[in-house]
């Protein structure tokens, strides 16, 4: 499932910052993306770029790094001129290798969460501090957003490991220990999330689906005759959060369930399989087993997940919606992205309505006090 205790579902094997020399042009453009956008020269540079083969990419690490590089180049190419003039067509020399690489990895040809967060980091020093590989417009603010998001994913690591080992055994004593570890992981994720105070923007991560600036989608030259509709990177694509939902049997319905199912299509295939494997009957096992301590352990997990989601709601309101509104008013180069995020998330959801619905569905998973009292009496 591409998981390790140290780094959760992030690309722990990646730690790759270079591609073979053959791909130097991709790396140069991606590394200088912000300057090229601000100078309005990115599109010209991309159009002069040679069309490269994938034959010199030999490892999964190299494939993921290349996908990240082409993703940020594509994002910059489309939004160089902001909301007034997004590109309608991705040129062949970028579209063909990007789509072939995406097919190889089982990822869509757009900058997704698995790219910009899970794969876009490297060790900064021997002390374990990290930094982004490719910076997006927004400078330190945007880089901080990416790093904090990665730290949230990293904090999920011990809980994810429990999901794949002790919890599925369905033995009461083992379950209690495992659920305790999940609770601690969720609390650590919230603590990491609190660092978002140093990051107030989500510029540069957008989509060509449910987007008024690209209502028909994006044409990938010599790949698609018709425009393609794709959702951009979104926290809804966090494999860790959907793992915990699946494990704890948090049920979502209607449009919310449909959106989360669609977001899973933007995750790496091993992560999709992990979520599917965890979707089961944990709550149904706990309810009739007449063990109040186990019920309380389960509720502790749900409460920690609720706290995380409440904090997410407050953070989005303060550090995404408000800055996005200011970006739109200021007419910055990526103001179109700001406008898109003003009321809808990068994945295309009505962001606040969606987050509150997910939070409310999480609360419904709590085992009610009356049930707990019954289990105590029965015991």
Q: Of 313, 212, 316, whose CA–CA distance to 325 is shortest?
A: 316
Q: 219 and 227 in contact (C-beta within 8 Å)?
A: yes
Coil/strand/helix, residue 8: strand
Query: How many other β-carbons are positioned within 10 Å of the β-carbon of residue 147?
Result: 23
Sign (positive/negative) of CA torsion 149, 154, 157, 159?
negative
Is 304 in contact with 142 (CB distance < 8 Å)?
no
Evaluate whether 64 touches 19 at the Cβ level (below 8 Å). Answer: no
Residue 284, sorted as left (phi over 0), alpha (psi -120 to 50) or beta, turns out to be alpha
- Residue 44 has, within 13 A of its CA and on its CB side, a CA count of 6
Sign of dihedral through CA atoms 322, 328, 329, 332? positive
Q: Do the annotations mark residue 312 as ligand-binding?
A: yes
Euclidean distance between CA atoms 154 and 226, whole angstroms = 39
Smallest Cα–Cα separation from 244: which of 161, 132, 339, 133? 161
> Taking every pair of C-alpha atoms in the chain, what is the biggest distance, in angstroms?
75
**251 contacts 364 by C-beta, under 8 angstroms:** yes
DSSP output for 269-303:
HHHHHHHHHH-S-HHHHHGGG--HHHHHHHHHHHH
- The Cα-based distances of 280 to 163, 168, 247, 284, 308 in angstroms read 12, 9, 7, 9, 23
Location of structure tokens 């990938």: 220
What is the DSSP-derived secondary structure letter of residue 230?
B
Annotated binding-site ranges for heme b: 312
Annotated binding-site ranges: 312
């Amino acid at each position: 499932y591409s998981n390790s205790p140290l780094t959760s579902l992030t690309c722990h094997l990646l730690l790759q910052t270079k591609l073979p020399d053959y791909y130097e042009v991709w790396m140069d453009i991606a590394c200088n993306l912000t300057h090229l956008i601000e100078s309005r020269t990115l599109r010209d540079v991309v159009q002069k770029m040679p069309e490269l083969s994938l034959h010199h990419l030999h490892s999964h690490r190299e494939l993921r790094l290349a996908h990240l590089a082409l993703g940020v180049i594509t994002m910059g190419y489309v939004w160089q001129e902001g909301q007034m003039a997004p590109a309608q067509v991705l040129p062949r020399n970028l579209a063909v290798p990007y789509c072939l690489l995406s097919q190889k990895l089982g990822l869509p040809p757009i900058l997704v969460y698995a790219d910009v967060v899970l794969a876009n980091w490297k060790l900064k020093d021997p002390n374990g501090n990290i930094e982004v590989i490719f910076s997006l417009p927004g400078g330190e603010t945007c880089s901080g957003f990416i790093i904090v998001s990665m730290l949230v994913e990293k904090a999920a690591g011990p809980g994810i490991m429990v999901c794949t080992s002790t919890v599925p055994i369905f033995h009461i004593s083992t379950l209690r220990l495992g659920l305790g570890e999940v609770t601690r992981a969720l609390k650590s994720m919230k603590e990491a999330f609190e660092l978002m105070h140093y990051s107030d923007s989500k510029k540069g991560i957008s989509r060509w689906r449910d987007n008024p600036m690209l209502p028909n989608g994006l044409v990938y030259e010599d790949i698609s005759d018709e425009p393609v509709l794709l959702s951009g990177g979104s926290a809804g694509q966090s494999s860790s959060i959907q793992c915990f939902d699946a494990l704890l049997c948090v049920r979502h319905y209607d449009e919310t369930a449909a959106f989360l199912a669609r977001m899973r299509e933007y995750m790496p295939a091993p992560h999709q399989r992990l979520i599917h494997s965890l979707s089961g009957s944990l709550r149904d096992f706990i309810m009739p087993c007449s063990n109040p301590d186990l019920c309380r352990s389960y509720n502790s997990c749900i409460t920690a997940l609720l706290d995380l989601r409440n904090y997410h709601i407050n953070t989005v309101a303060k550090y995404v919606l408000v800055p996005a509104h200011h970006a739109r008013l200021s007419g910055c180069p990526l103001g179109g992205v700001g406008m898109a995020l003003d009321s809808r998330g990068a994945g295309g959801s009505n962001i606040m309505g969606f987050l509150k619905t997910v939070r409310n569905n999480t609360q419904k998973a709590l085992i009610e006090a009356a049930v707990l009292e019954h289990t105590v009496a029965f015991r």
